[in-house]
Amino acid sequence: MTTKLIHFYENVALRHCLFKKNCYFRSVNKRYIDRMKFLGIIPARYSSSRFPGKPLAQLGGKPVIQHVYERAKQVLTDVYVATDDERIYNIVTAFGGKAVMTQANHQSGTERACEALDKIEGKFDVVINIQGDEPFIQTEQIRMIMSYFDDEQTQIATLGIPLKSMQDVRNVNSPKIVLDINNNALYFSRSAIPFIRGIEQADWIGHYPFLKHIGLYAYRVETLHEISKLPPSSLELAERLEQLRWLQNGYRIKVCITNIETVSIDTPQDLERAKEYLKQNEQ
């Protein structure tokens, strides 16, 4: 990434933040955050068209779901796996984790998280939805997304990471985000957004700070209940991105910027990449 684009992030979109340990941190009302109750929910289903059973795939001697759970527990007191499959439920409880059974017909992890919330005892202020295929999610990223809820106007928060190549920008499996000057999402798309007029596409990366979406979400409890009742929207159906349903219905999504790349597991090939990543980072 060019110096020009780094300065863009530090001085414009993130002008209220500090850079620390590969994450951008705002000035946070820690006392307010400490009074809030956060609930971590990890939606995990066994059925997957590209990789059936991936939550239970072995990675470094542990199932993928255990890696995710243990990282979440480093930050959050209350963490549950929400699943529709007894095999996942049994594995989670066997390694000492907490799990809750949910219906099989949910269209998204957000809907599954909402059902799990209603089944878990206790009163919570914010739910953090941690993807079950993100075994390398970092504690700093979870803490950062929590920190945005010191602002009572924050309804939903998620993560974005700067893209470094045009191959990444063109990848339709990596949704892109455009932001307003206050780090609220304007739009998410599988297409390369924005279009850079008058510049060859191969050179776009040097002229605009493209952002990739990382699917870690946090929602206020009342917001989670509201968005889970919304019908699919036209933009969501077009792009197959559930967060567009929320934007199209007027909800604001705060985007926290991280420089930590995560390795999500969507296919067996991704699992092999994750194994190699784990080996390299254990050395």
pLDDT reported for residue 280: 86
Average pLDDT in the chain: 89
Is 74 part of any domain? yes
DSSP three-state, residue 165? coil
Q: Average the pLDDT over 117-130 and give the result.
A: 97
Nearest to 233 by CA among 92, 107, 97, 99: 107
Among the residue ranges 14-18, 113-117, 180-184, 218-222, the one predicted with the least confidence is 14-18
Residue 151 clears pLDDT 60, i.e. is over it: yes
pLDDT band of residue 263 (cuts 50, 70, 90) is: confident
pLDDT at 264: 86
User: Is there a domain that residue 39 lies in?
Assistant: yes
Instruction: Determine, yes or no, domain membership for 280.
Output: no
Boundaries of domain holding 198: 3-273
Condensed to tens digits (0 to 9), the pLDDT of residues 96-111 reads 999 999 999 998 999 9
Q: What's the confidence (pLDDT) of residue 2?
A: 47
User: Taking a C-beta distance cutoff of 8 angstroms, is the pair 207, 196 a contact?
Assistant: yes
Q: What CATH number corresponds to the domain at position 127?
A: 3.90.550.10
CA distances from 121 to 78, 117, 144, 149, 199 (A): 11, 8, 26, 22, 55
76 or 16: which carries more pLDDT confidence? Answer: 76
Do the domain assignments include residue 147? yes
Nearest of 35, 17, 127 to residue 72 by alpha carbon: 127
Tell whether omega for the bond before 268 is within 30 degrees of 0, i.e. cis. Answer: no
Q: Give the number of other Cβ atoms within 10 Å of residue 12's Cβ.
A: 11
Residue 278 lies in a domain: no
> Domain count of the chain?
1
The mean pLDDT of 114-138, rounded to a whole number, is 96
Give per-residue pLDDT as tens, 27-62.
566 777 888 999 999 999 998 878 889 999 999 999
Position 13 in a domain? yes
pTM of the model: 0.87
Mean pLDDT in residue range 195-215: 94
In a domain, residue 76? The reply is yes
